[in-house]
Structure 1
């Protein structure tokens, strides 16, 4: 698949197929992010919501419901719920990471302040819970509320695992399930639940979302090292500078000799990074083959997501979801 050809991008085909539904969701988001008493809430929220994100997560909720034959409008509220949860986590993440840019624009915490970002994020979480209750489906409420808890747990786990070279692959997987895959999984699963599909199909949607989210995050982590080719550019190496333990590094540390381990202790645990350290770290990843291995892992999770779709009804949206799983790892080809 060519990433240069806009017509081949599955999320854009999905946007076109779900046009009226997305318009309804956008209207709902704008209505529910309003506040009569605190004008800063819509100001901060609009800054992020209107920054041009792909809205993949709410689209997955809409797509899952539609391919399962759902004909009501509760999926609009669930899609808006998913977007509010995602937006709230971005606001909180930017404060925790002390980020200055998000989607090419200054972050809310930079334009306003940390307190505003945290409190508006809390407001959006509250709005999300109001929305998820409205369809009156206890299972939907359970799925989405559990996802919100897993996301928060993943963020705390990432904080405690940061800068610790003893971090295991299992911990890494827990972190990316929390920070990314949990919401993908819930977004897909609730589409099948609201359509009242058989349990096998609901489970398949959950497995698809989980695999898609893990593949997406692994691809992102690998691209931070310049992809499987390890070609460092001006926008790569941020994870190393921020001393984050991602899969290529975790595996390289596990295979390190005494000298290599001392390097990782100095640069990751102690934060003593010098000129040339990024290039040396990259050389170690290449030496131990962990870039190629991470690429293979990402492709494996993408394939697992695609396999899950086979039990779902034949539908153009199912084909787009299949292609989306290809697209998130095609960046690594």
Structure 2
């Protein structure tokens, strides 16, 4: 999928960047507190990243947030969680309206997260890796005083390699399993996923976080898949070699993050399950939403403090 590549930067103009192997020459918008609204959905792992990073950096007072409901039709995510089904800032029933406000014939999927210009009510960007990248690098003047260093310079090159593997093999890997159109495609996807999961289990056995002692963007990106794994991907996407709760390092790590301020409060397991089991009619034509698993286990001691 192609995304709207515009960025919101501290120095507006046109930006030429290399990030994750991509060279971009894109228009930029100025960083201005109160100007933009992050439209996200608690159900969506890609949007969940942006919600978490906004929390960790303390940007709640400078970037407002609207949350779409967990289910959507072919047209768009909708604001059915808000009174009257209307976003109170944008006045929209559908996120699609923000896309059409800028591109009347927008031909691609209406995705979250999206940054929307409040005054014009038009979408600015839905390029999700850049949204969280720029929350850190471009909105620094507005971070809370004790905000974590999500992109530490001393390990940034390795971190980008780790994130690239997480994205291709895990974040996308579960979808590759779930939407495989043949047995061979599924078998190949399954093997790739579990090769990466075993690599992560080994990596996290002797280090608390992916890059060492501190939380980085890499941890945010992995967490949003791990927290959905047992509730959705294990059964719904047939990623069923084992559950996260059966992998000691990954399970302890996932709980550690869940119990860290900024992470767990963004998770709504009922919305997550409703999204996958209702929206994916081709995979789950009955629309039945499982009652389990027990989510209280996420608050049990993780024992990771000594690493």
TM-based fold match above 0.5:
no
Is the helix fraction higher in 1 or 2?
Answer: 1
The interval holding the TM-score normalised by the smaller chain is 0.3 to 0.5
Larger Rg: 1
Normalising by structure 2, we get a TM-score of: 0.34
Considering fraction of residues, name the structure with more strand: 2
TM-score normalised to the size of structure 1?
0.32
Q: Which has the higher contact order (CA 8 A, sep 6+)?
A: 1
